[in-house]
Amino acid sequence: MNNKNFCQSCSMPLDSHEVLGTEKYGSLSLEYCKYCYEHGEFINPDMTLEEMKTMVKTEMEKKNIAPAIIEKAINDLPDLKRWKKEPEFSLQ
């Protein structure tokens, strides 16, 4: 696996099979990590984007990751599949 793939919920690098979440029938998810996604569902489906930002920051700080990298990860969260807002269509 390469480091180009990130969890589309928390932005964790999906750099090994051990960190991949699972789909409904047990296959590995190529989009989500095991901390966010299991058996085809989000582990914490009611989590808000703000709660995810706090959790990501806390976990990255525990690992002594540089503040600039933490800030980038947090700023990138809204663009991930789980959090990205669908464009609104207006009928005029």
pLDDT digits (tens, 9 = 90+) for 3-20: 479 999 999 999 999 999
Which pTM value belongs to this model? Answer: 0.83
What digits encode the pLDDT tens for the residues 45-85? 999 999 999 999 999 999 999 999 999 999 999 999 999 97
Query: How far is 70 from 58, CA to CA, in rounded Å?
Result: 9
Q: Strand pairing partners for 13? A: 6
Domain boundaries, the chain: 17-79
Instruction: Give the Å distances, CA to CA, from 16 to 4, 21, 70.
Output: 11, 11, 21
